[in-house]
Structure 1
Amino acid sequence: MRLSDEDLEALLANPESDRSERKEAYSRDVREKLCQAICAFANDLPGHRQPGVAFVGVRDDGTPVNLAITGDLLETLAGIRADGNIQPIPSMTVEKRTLLGAEVAVVTVHPSDAPPVRYKGRTYIRVGPRGSIAGRQDESILNERRRHRDLPFDLQPVPLATLADLSRVVFESEYLTAAFAADVLEANDRTYEERLTACRMIESVQNPVPTVMGSLVLATRTRDLIPCAYVQFLRVDGPEWDAPILDEAAIDGRMSEVIRRLDDKLRAHISTSVDVHSADTEKRRPDYPLAALQQLARNAIMHRSYEGTHAPIRVTWFSDRIEILNPGGPYGVVTVANFGQDGVTDYRNPHLAEAMKTQGYVQRFGVGIATARRLLAENGNPPAQFDPQETRVLVTVRK
């Protein structure tokens, strides 16, 4: 939904609106306030079911200041969505508009289908024209509202799962401390079920059935609940599939365990050569840069399809290359034609992506492929080859 000039000017003219935020210019301090406003608009506590708008280049009374709206400014504002501090990822657009005869930067934020949305571990809401941190009752309203929306697959309940399948120790000692700010946890008077609901690990307090996300992140028997949730690792002594097997493993468990164990496998199989001839000091170079392989493997875990398939992610290590097969083709705005292009990204599992960011396995969204390409080039490897098809993506990395 793109708001018309008349809609935007009406928001500018109403200083008491809880759907608008006004800033004269952009700075580091202003960015903090904008992020809080974006989070609050995404939560839409009043239930407007309409976008909220943050304006940059206008005064508190809604009149423009004639700020130069540059491409760099728009790119910086758009980067708020991808830096991973607002979770789950907000649906927002950034554009330059001419309002009341002057250029203005307009950030339009759509209500989230899966509130509560948090910024740096805090849930922000709008109380009239001002922002505030949500209280217990506010979060309860947002959690209840989420149950009545058309949710993505990673928030669907897993019928075979029960609350007893989730590890409370892992949730309270690892996940909560990473997901919430320390002061929020100190003031927390919510029950275990309320906290699981707020983190989208169960459907609701009234119906405490683990979600797909909860089963992947916290379950003690993940593969019993989601059979495809594992990585099949295979190392063969040759360039073809029928070569002798050197190592194989089905790597399963909670998502964090899968990532850590896969990291160990990758690290163990990387060989490092030593060059003592081309410089005065020796140079050590691995046949594959670990960080690049981590980016590609975690990308597969984040974007794979967990629905309608029992196929695992496959990491096959040949003598001359590594193949990573992800059972999930391009999704959303990502197509076979534009796959891998910088800035083109979408999320089949947006809340699983949130969990990976929370647990520190993703630093920034939308840059995994670009980072892997850069690391491979720096190490002297050929560019990674991507073969996206309708139901899977194959990545080939060569020595």
Structure 2
Amino acid sequence: MHEEELAEIVENLRLVGSDVSDVEVKKAEGGLPRSARETLVAFANTRGGTLILGLDERSGFTATGLSDPAKMSSDLAAMCAADIEPPLRPHIGIHDFEDVTVLVAEIPELPAHRKPCFSRGAGMSQGCFVRVGDGDRKLTSYEVQLLLANRGQPREDEAPVPGTGPADFDAALVTAFLARLRTRRPYAFSELDAVSALRRAKALVRDENGADVASVGGLLALGSYPQEHFPQLMLTFVHYPTTDGADTTTGERFVDNVVAEGPIPVIVRDALLVVRKNMTRRSVVHGAGRADIWQYPEAALREAIVNALVHRDLSPEARGTQVQVEMYPDRLTVRNPGGLFGPVTEDRLGEEGISSARNAGLLRVLEDVPLPGGTQAICENRGSGIRTMINALRAARMSLPEFKNRVSTFSVTFPNHTLLGEETVDWLKSLGEHGLSESQCVGLAILREGGHLDNQTYRTETRVDSRVATQELRDLIARELVVQTGNRRWARYRLAPALLPAADAAPITGPRRADRRREILDALRQGERSRLELATATGLTDQTVARWLRILRDEGLVETTEENVRNPATRYRRTGKIALGEDGEM
């Protein structure tokens, strides 16, 4: 870690006023604290992180230093190697910081096939931790089992269900399923009878006595009533009257409370019906007109519900937990047991080529099982369900969902408001900025609503990649629409002060952007200058100067003294062409 990056980390901690999810600070006045072991384990089990020894959080992250940093480094390395399983190999550095010496250890996240990480002294059942907020939380025995199961491909969906057989399947679903199999995969299924085809699809498996019984996945996908064997493998819908749940003033616990049972195709159909019954319609701006749409786009809801039912944990420990859909006045949440599986992470959801299935057998069956009364298969959008969800929300001009991944649960929450509503669209038009991308408009709308942005949040909310996010945020800075605080990993973005209305004042609606041509040209009157020199002379940011230099070059008003315009040291000068309106010269 560079000294500048350490300074930025500490500056951010002082600004926030507490540790953050990927940085932990300890004073370590009396030697290496035992609690460091929990933090090391938690970082390795979550997303990695940085441990800083020699700062005092209680005194505002004052740099107190270490009396013997070399011994501290040796003790920390020994703890990582001898006290933690699997052993960790963090990058440990000793730094001079604010006239004292501190120690910085950077701990990478362990790959899934090596988790869980745990303290050897406490053992796996008691010594596993994850990072939650600014603290370390001990994992439950169920969460530990999940991490162990995620080392390979879970097979709970292929487990036999004793006491079942072909008679437990829904005849209509089986008929539709086999017809699609024989049409779409004739090489593997066209010549097989019904039982043989169900065996090959793993909907039927052999029990310990060699008899044909339904698999867990087969029963959930095709069974006439799976809850006879698994009472809690269902979906519950609750519509709460207030944002906090029950209405304490009237005693009203819920507006609606419904249980959806049956095979997954029936649960999906019934869940969508009950959500639609509880939704209202809203008016949004589309071009020159308006359109009435549902409170939440049905395509987005469908993908969220299907994902929850298909990718939920099916291990015996989780079979007592149902998929939950909760509607509040300001949001709707879909939650399932079991976090994300495989290489998928929250910030990579929806990316091309990023897909992983906890219940691969169940998913494969549902690719050929249609919704009751329709022809579209339940999992027809395999690998693109999240993108379908996002596209549906964008088309409705709504905020993108919030994904929360925990070891034992995964949830998606849809905010109940139109991010790009009529007022916001009018505000964006009033800025007078041409060429803004849709993702830039979304970013500005988030900031206008009081949200915050960093590079990761921008990528998550707009679903653009890191390269595009960096370019678009730089362009917003250059346009003087946002300002940046911090650098690199600690960079944060907020609306430019000129876009913020005064307290109790109406929002700014008039043109706001200054034309910076005159300032750049005036600064070049004294002769050739580099971009940095122009930024110093005008008081503008480097990005803003670069933007207006491009415009002036395109207009033929300035030129470079060399070919490489990407070099910050490249110098610029005025041309002989006169800019219209410049001090009476034109």
TM-score > 0.5 by shorter chain = yes
Structure 1 residue aligned with 2:177 = 175
User: Which string of whole-angstrom CA distances, capped at 9 and with x for unpartnered residues, describes residues 364-392 of structure 1?
Assistant: 32221222122212212112111100011
Contact 1:266 1:290 in 2 (8 A): no
Distance 1:285 1:188, change over 3 A: closer
Distance 1:279 1:196 in 2: 50
Residue of structure 2 in register with 1:297 after alignment: 305
The answer to whether the 8 Å contact 2:394/2:400 transfers is yes
2:394 aligns to what? 377
Report what 1:266 is aligned to.
275
Q: CA deviation at 1:201?
A: 1.3
SS in 1 for 2:256: strand
Q: Distance in 1 between the 2:191 and 2:327 partners? A: 49
TM-score, structure 1 normalization = 0.56
Q: Which residue of 2 aligns with 1:356?
A: 366
**TM-aligned CA distance change 1:232 to 1:182, over 3 Å:** closer
Indicate if the aligned counterparts of 2:346 and 2:403 stay in contact, CA closer than 8 A: no
* One of 189, 202, 211 as aligned partner of 2:215: 211
> CA 1:384–1:335 in 2, change beyond 3 Å: closer, same or farther?
closer
Superposed CA offset, 1:93-144 (max 9, x none): xxxxxxxxxxxxxxxxxxxxxxxxxxxxxxxxxxxxxxxxxxxxxxxxxxxx
Report the secondary structure of 2:356's partner residue: coil
Aligned to 2:198: 196
* 1:274 CA displacement: 3.9
Aligned match of 1:313 = 323
Could you tell me which amino acid in structure 1 is paired with residue 354 of structure 2? V
Distance 1:275 1:188, change over 3 A: closer
Alignment of 1:1-399 (within 5 A): 152-172=155-175, 174-181=176-183, 184=186, 190-204=192-206, 206-243=210-247, 244=252, 245-274=254-283, 281-307=289-315, 308-309=317-318, 310-335=320-345, 338=348, 341-359=351-369, 360-399=377-416
Given the superposition, is the C-alpha separation of residues 217 and 279 from structure 1 closer, same or farther in structure 2, using an over 3 Å criterion?
A: closer
Q: 1:176 to 1:238 in 2, by over 3 A?
A: same
CA distance in 2, matches of 1:281, 1:334: 39
Pick closer, same or farther for the CA change 1:339–1:273 going to 2, 3 Å.
closer
Q: CA deviation at 1:167?
A: 2.8
Report the alpha carbon displacement of residue 225 of structure 1 after superposing the two structures with TM. 1.9
For residues 169 and 374 of structure 1, what CA distance do their matches in structure 2 show?
Answer: 33
Query: C-alpha root-mean-square deviation of aligned residues, in Å?
Result: 2.8
- Cα drift, residue 254 of structure 1: 1.1
Q: Answer whether contact 1:323 1:396 (CA < 8 A) is retained.
A: yes
After superposition, the Cα gap between the structure-2 partners of 1:190 and 1:369, relative to the gap in structure 1 and judged at 3 Å, is closer
How many residues align? The count is 247
Q: Residues 287 and 161 (structure 1 numbering): CA distance in 2 closer, same or farther, change over 3 Å?
A: same
Code of the aligned partner of 1:222: P
| Unmatched segments (≥5 aa) in structure 1 | 1-149
1:195 corresponds to which letter in structure 2?
A
Q: Residue type matched to 1:293 in 2?
A: L
Deviation of 1:189 after TM superposition, in Å, equals 5.8
Give the residue type in structure 1 aligned to 2:299: A
Instruction: State the distance in 2 between where 1:224 and 1:151 align.
Output: 24
Shift of residue 305, structure 1, vs aligned partner: 0.7
Whether the aligned pair in 2 keeps the contact of 1:166 and 1:220 (CA below 8 Å) is: yes
SS at match of 2:214: coil
Contact 1:228 1:306 (C-alpha < 8 Å) held by counterparts: no
Residues 205, 213 of structure 2: 8 Å contact kept: yes
The letter for the 2-side match of 1:303 is: H
CA distance in 1, matches of 2:400, 2:364: 28
% identity of equivalent residues: 21
Structure 1 residues 382 and 159: CA distance shift in structure 2, 3 A: same
CA distance in 1, matches of 2:280, 2:195: 47
Q: CA deviation at 1:207?
A: 2.2
Residue of structure 2 in register with 1:134 after alignment: none
Rate the CA distance shift 1:322–1:275 in 2: closer, same or farther, 3 A: closer
Which structure ranks higher in relative contact order (CA pairs < 8 Å, sequence separation ≥ 6)? 1
CA contact (8 A) 2:203 2:214 kept: yes
Q: Which SS does the other structure have where 1:369 is aligned?
A: helix
Q: Is the 8 A contact 2:201 2:365 kept in 1?
A: no
- In the TM superposition, residue 200 of structure 1 has moved relative to its aligned partner by 1.5
Query: Distance in 2 between the 1:155 and 1:177 partners?
Result: 22
Residue 84 of structure 1 is matched in structure 2 by none
* Cα separation, partners in 2 of 1:168 and 1:151, compared to 1, 3 Å: farther
Aligned-partner residue type, residue 235 of structure 1 = H
Please name the residue that 1:41 is paired with.
Answer: none
Structure 1 residues 318, 164: closer, same or farther in 2, change over 3 A?
same
The structure with the larger Rg is: 2
Structure 1 pair 183/280, CA: closer, same or farther in 2 (3 Å)?
Answer: closer
